[in-house]
Amino acid sequence: MSKQSKRGVRAPVPEKSAAFFGEFWNRRLVNLAADLVVVPAVRLLRGSEGARQTLNGLAGEQLCFHEDRLVPQLGRVGTYGFVILPGGCAWALEEHEGCTFCPFQRAVDRYVGNLPLDAAEFLRLFGASFQTIRDRVTMLNVFTAGSFFNAGEIPEETQRGIAKAVAAQDNIRILRVESRLEYIEETAVAPVIAALGGKTLDVVIGFETQDDQLRRMLRKGMSKRGLEEKITLLKRLGARVSIYLMIKPHHVVTEGWGIEEAEASIRFAFAAGADEIQLQATYIVNADPDGTKGDKNLMYEWHRDRGFEPPSLWSIAEILRDTAPLGPVMLGAWETEIPPPMRSPSDRNCPVCRAELLARIGRWRTTLDPAAFAPETLPSCACRTAWERETADRSRPPDSRMA
């Protein structure tokens, strides 16, 4: 058993009253806010949007939000709703501390501490967020900072309760959840699909890269064969499958190879049976800016100590244009990530091209039209010339660096 196994989602059920735990009182305001926004009078006075703002404001966190994006399955723009639950990640609580790039477990640790949430508290938080956005969303994303199908993170009662809530809401067509491979089993997935009552379940798997060595360096703990087997299982059960991939997920990845590697990963994922790619450009987060929390953040350390940078907007444009014929590649919005980036792809480009490229990326997110990045229509500037020089070498680093 690892030295971290008693924290967060692995904390034992307390033998004494929850009131003896500091975490209980720290969460009290959030729970009071959750109770407040479901009161009909509050929703009547404030409206759903006002209630959402009240919930997020009292919680001091972005517990729920919505934004318009293309929904590839429907072939049109729809409204994505996002509900964030502090389930946490058992993988991140292992001795190795999980995936190198992920900051989410630290946020969950600070909220959950050694007083785990039970099914009732999860449903309370979900219900409050859901009430404020349910009437306007087409797809509901439930983000748990871990694996939805791990009952040790999100109790089975909570899983089914969420699915039933979606089933009862006519305008919501799709429920999207995330999971590691080891929790994707028929016994876990089938009850959620049944509870959805004919709505679509979209399962997102964070695979990040097709390069086996690079994936080991990221501490993903997943194999290509394992991914292919779970995709087959999910398809047999009637689920839809999306795959998370990253551009430049490690400091050894150069800008040039980052383009080649991301395109190879997209080709692999579609060949393995993915319905959709969720492509995320790396960004830098300093989760512990004042050094008081003891948080480790390798991405930040690579940026600080090695000069590691997120990918350029030019690289993102090329990847999206080149892979457009393969299937829907949705680009993650680093602008709305939690915690917010201190450095992102937006910072890599110059004032001459930045706004233009961001506008074209916005067009891509609502159309998936590769014409948004037609080379002859793109702006010319000094940073484009510098990027072309930087990416002239697209070779994979030697094995001596991939260790």
Identity of the residue numbered 41: A
Percent above pLDDT 70 for the chain: 85
Q: Which tops the pLDDT comparison, 90 or 260?
A: 260
pTM of the entire structure? 0.89
Mean pLDDT along residues 173-201: 98
Q: Is residue 272 part of a domain?
A: yes
Percent above pLDDT 90 for the chain: 67
Exposed (0-12), middle (13-18) or buried (19+): which is 260, by Cβ within 10 Å? middle
Identity of the residue numbered 249: P
- Which pLDDT does position 288 carry in this prediction? 59
Expressed as residue numbers, the domain containing 196 is 8-390
Q: Is residue 401 part of a domain?
A: no
Q: Is residue 350 part of a domain?
A: yes
Q: Is residue 370 part of a domain?
A: yes
- CATH number for the domain spanning 231: value is 3.20.20.70
3-state secondary structure (DSSP) of residue 294: coil
Residue pair 394/257 in contact (Cβ under 8 Å)? The answer is yes
- Which pLDDT does position 26 carry in this prediction? 63
- Overall domain count for the chain: 1
Instruction: Look at residue 395 and tell me whether its pLDDT is greater than 50.
Output: yes
DSSP state of 293: S
Q: Which of 192, 181, 183 is nearest to 239 (CA)?
A: 192
Q: What is the mean pLDDT of the chain?
A: 88
Least confident of 50-59, 344-353, 371-380: 50-59
Instruction: Look at residue 9 and tell me whether its pLDDT is greater than 60.
Output: no
- Confidence band (pLDDT; 50, 70, 90) for 83? very high
Q: Which tops the pLDDT comparison, 1 or 129?
A: 129
Q: Is residue 50 part of a domain?
A: yes
Q: Is residue 346 part of a domain?
A: yes
- Confidence band (pLDDT; 50, 70, 90) for 15? low
Q: Which tops the pLDDT comparison, 393 or 33?
A: 393
The 10 Å Cβ neighbour count of residue 312 is 27
3-state secondary structure (DSSP) of residue 223: coil
Q: Is residue 199 part of a domain?
A: yes
Q: Is residue 229 part of a domain?
A: yes
